[in-house]
Chains A and B, each alone.
Chain A
Amino acid sequence: SAVISQKPSRDICQRGTSLTIQCQVDSQVTMMFWYRQQPGQSLTLIATANQGSEATYESGFVIDKFPISRPNLTFSTLTVSNMSPEDSSIYLCSVERDRGYHTEAFFGQGTRLTVV
């Protein structure tokens, strides 16, 4: 398994500001993933963060809006930039363990963001 710590657990932010979410894993992992869960919706993958390279963004997500850092194999940050009320969501960090024939995902507790 993997222990994932996310900070902050929740925040209320003013529109137009930015929030950086931190994700710390208890062991080294190659890839870290950032998901968004909008109210009443499923999880949507924002991007995949590899250490030492730029993050890979999914369709509909761009680096200017969601810059990601991955300075080492146990840590990543996601910034939600120039926030609007539509960015109010739960943001989750995830890592996957390779089981040899499939991957298994583990999730942080999430960051509940409310933009006012």
Chain B
Amino acid sequence: AQSVTQLGSHVSVSEGALVLLRCNYSSSVPPYLFWYVQYPNQGLQLLLKYTSAATLVKGINGFEAEFKKSETSFHLTKPSAHMSDAAEYFCAVDRDDKIIFGKGTRLHILP
């Protein structure tokens, strides 16, 4: 069954530094993959999605993710972290018309 694994439940980066949040998927066929963000006390918001149209996907707020089939990965990156990026990030996969979420990674931004 398709699923995603997020490496690291907590990631801390300094403001202005590169953000890298890791996500690996398990699937026998190319999946549809998503990154969602949950800001404190708010609902979920879609950051970006991979639908096989392009391997490098650009999302909102300067985030992007690259689908690498050879590594079964869909890591989320942002070149320069901002304090407002502090949030919980969830990698997710579309499985049988249901969205299945990874365990989430809490991103901390250090001043």
A interface vs B, CB < 8 Å? 31, 33, 41-45, 48, 92, 94, 96, 99, 101-110
Give the B interface residue count (CB, 8 A). Answer: 20
Q: Is the CB of A92 within 8 A of B44?
A: yes
A94–B98 CA distance with the chains assembled, in angstroms: 10
Q: How far is the CA of A103 from the CA of B96 in the complex (A)?
A: 10
Contact of A45 among B51, B100, B103 (CB under 8 A): B100
Name the residue on A nearest B104 (C-beta). Answer: A42
How would you classify the secondary structure of chain A's contact residues: helix, strand, loop or mixed?
A: strand
Chain B proximity of A96: nearest CB distance (Å): 7
- CB-CB under 8 A from B103, the residues of chain A are 41-42
Query: Does B42 sit within 8 A of A, measured CB to CB?
Result: yes
A96→B51 contact, CB < 8 A: no
Given A31-B97, A42-B104, A96-B99; A104-B49 close (CB under 8 Å) = yes
Provide the residues of chain A in CB contact with B34, threshold 8 Å: 104-105
List A contacts of B18 (CB < 8 A): none
If A94-B99, A102-B94, A103-B97 touch, whether A109 touches B49 (CB-CB below 8 Å) is no
Point out the residue from B32, B49, B90, B97 that lies within 8 Å of A42, measured CB to CB: B90
Q: How far is the CB of A23 from chain B (nearest CB, A)?
A: 12
Are the C-beta atoms of A43 and B43 separated by less than 8 Å?
Answer: no
B97 touches A109 (CB 8 A): no
Smallest CB–CB gap between A70 and chain B, Å? 16
Q: What 8 A-B pairs come out closest when comparing CB atoms?
A: A102-B32, A109-B43, A107-B44, A42-B103, A43-B101, A105-B99, A42-B104, A42-B101
